[in-house]
Structure 1
Amino acid sequence: MGKRGPKTEAGLAAVSQAAKQWDHSAWTRNPKAVEAIEIARRLRKTKHGLYASVPIICKGQGCPYAHSCPLVEMDKAPYGEKCPIEIAALEDLFHRYCEHFGIDPDNPKPSDTVDLMMIKDLVDADIALLRCDNKMAWDADYIIHNTVGMTEEGERITKQELHPLTEYKEKLIARKNKTFQLLNSTRKDKEGMKLTVTHDPSERAAEMLKVLQDMKEIEATEEERKQKYLDRSSSMMKETVTKDTIEVEPIDYSEEE
């Protein structure tokens, strides 16, 4: 099987053909520039196209994170290429977030666009946190001594402060938490929209009619029970009056005289 991709001969031919179908005159009329725009479009539409500019370029021993890079230690760092450590972390985080939020990374729906943009923000923050951790792995001490002045003898006056990376990490974590909240709120909004759409007016009317009928049946049953109770109470009162009545003969006072 031959090589595939936008940079191969077949890919470039496909790009050239596709370029004819798009009007890039608003940007440029240079054929090479138009072709480059099409290549950029194809790259952007790939699964990880949005993250193409996130990984740093490997500088080998000159990398600011070289002291904590296992590839530099193994002499496997690809100088001049994008950082494999960050690419691996990026792909892993992207797939984990997609799985968590129920998004198919290989076949995303148009309705997933906002979620994917927010996931990118999460991944960006995670990569930045990874860089902070790699930097702190070498610096180690969270307390630094900042020079705030000089004495008359020329000696430095220092002040102990937290490492700037600690504050930066706090901002990144706050940014992640805010993005999580936005993701949850947008998904709740989507669910609310689905509920609104899925309720058909006729079904809703039928449900309300059934509720009214049920209420009438309940009222009729209660009225019947009430009437039975009143009838039974009246009957019991009559029986009580009959039992408590004492029959006596009238006194004839004429006989006593």
Structure 2
Amino acid sequence: MSKTGPKTEAGLAAISASAKELDHTAWTSNPDAVEAIQVAKRLRNTKHGLYASVPIICKAEACPYSHSCPLVEMEKAPYGEKCPIEIAAIEDLFERYAEHFEIDLENRKASDTIDLMIVKDLVDADIGLLRCDNKMAWDADYIVNNTVGMSEDGEPITRQELHPLTDYKEKLINRKNKSYQLLNSTRKDKEGQKLTIKQDPSVQAAEMVKVNQDMEKNKQSEHEAKKAYYKKMNMKMPEEDDIIDVEPIDYNEEE
């Protein structure tokens, strides 16, 4: 079975064929660059294409998070490649968020674009939190001594403060909360647009009959109340023909 994909011979041939139908002169006239643009577009349209630039590049022992990296400990860190730990986290989080917010990844629609972009922001924030946790796992102490000045003797003046990562984590959490709110609001808007009232015709007819019956009952009750009032006042209840309609006087009308 032959391999397929944007980097295979068949894939590149397909890209070159489709590239001829598109106008890339606004970007470049170099055929190789046009082909590269098509490859990039295909990569971006994959399930996790939006996250291609998120993972850091593995530097093995030179990575700032190497002290808490299990792959470095197992001597399986792929130097120069995208970080497998972050890739695994991205894929897991993305699919979990998509499932939670009922985004069909196999049949994505144009209407899912906003949701997917907000989910990306959530995943970005989660990866940032993961990096903070990995860094703090090594630094450990949440209190740091920051130099705020120098004494007359040239000695540094320090002040104990919270680790800068604690402030950064708080910002990431706030960013996640805002993204949650945005995602929920967009979904409520969609539901509002899709709202339709479906009712069985027989049920609707029965409700109309009930409304008419209620109106008749109200009229009857009003009539009985009038009769009781006139009887109590020892007055004759006027007939309908005895009631004279009078138009209100318009005092603004010129004589």
**Residue identity in the other structure for 2:137:** A
| Cα distance in 2 between the residues matched to 1:209 and 1:137 | 68
Rg larger for: 1
Hey, what does 2:62 align to over in structure 1?
Answer: 62
SS in 1 for 2:161: strand
Which structure has greater helix proportion?
1
| Cα distance in 1 between the residues matched to 2:37 and 2:148 | 51
**Residue identity in the other structure for 1:214:** K
Gaps of 5+ in 1: 232-257
Hey, what does 1:145 align to over in structure 2?
Answer: 145
Q: What value does the CA root-mean-square deviation take over the aligned residues?
A: 2.7
**Residue identity in the other structure for 1:183:** L
| Identity across the alignment (%) | 68
| Cα distance in 2 between the residues matched to 1:91 and 1:211 | 52
**Residue identity in the other structure for 1:45:** N
> Per-residue displacement from partner, 1:184-218 (whole Å, max 9, x unpaired)?
111111111111xx359xx8xx9999766533311
SS in 2 for 1:159: strand
SS in 1 for 2:184: helix
Hey, what does 2:213 align to over in structure 1?
Answer: 217
Q: What pairs with 1:161-240 in structure 2 (closer than 5 Å)?
A: 161-195=161-195, 198=196, 213-224=209-220
SS in 1 for 2:144: strand
After superposing on structure 2, the runs of 4+ consecutive aligned residues of structure 1 that deviate more than 4 Å are: 206-213, 222-231
SS in 2 for 1:23: coil
SS in 2 for 1:75: coil
> Per-residue displacement from partner, 1:37-65 (whole Å, max 9, x unpaired)?
10011111111000000000000000000
| Cα distance in 1 between the residues matched to 2:144 and 2:75 | 32
Distance 1:230 1:155, change over 3 A: closer
| Cα distance in 1 between the residues matched to 2:62 and 2:51 | 23
**Residue identity in the other structure for 1:135:** K
SS in 2 for 1:58: coil
| Cα distance in 1 between the residues matched to 2:97 and 2:78 | 28
Hey, what does 1:50 align to over in structure 2?
Answer: 50
| Cα distance in 1 between the residues matched to 2:28 and 2:135 | 42
SS in 1 for 2:158: strand
**Residue identity in the other structure for 2:210:** D
**Residue identity in the other structure for 1:96:** R
| Cα distance in 2 between the residues matched to 1:10 and 1:97 | 34
SS in 2 for 1:24: coil
| Cα distance in 2 between the residues matched to 1:152 and 1:226 | 96
SS in 2 for 1:95: helix
| Cα distance in 2 between the residues matched to 1:48 and 1:19 | 23
> Per-residue displacement from partner, 1:108-142 (whole Å, max 9, x unpaired)?
11111100000000000000000000000000000
**Residue identity in the other structure for 2:93:** L
| Cα distance in 2 between the residues matched to 1:207 and 1:109 | 36
Hey, what does 1:94 align to over in structure 2?
Answer: 94
**Residue identity in the other structure for 2:71:** L
Gaps of 5+ in 2: 228-255
Hey, what does 2:104 align to over in structure 1?
Answer: 104
Deviation at 1:9, TM superposition (A): 1.1
**Residue identity in the other structure for 1:101:** F
SS in 2 for 1:99: helix
Q: TM-score, normalised by structure 1?
A: 0.81
Deviation at 1:3, TM superposition (A): 2.2
| Cα distance in 1 between the residues matched to 2:10 and 2:45 | 18
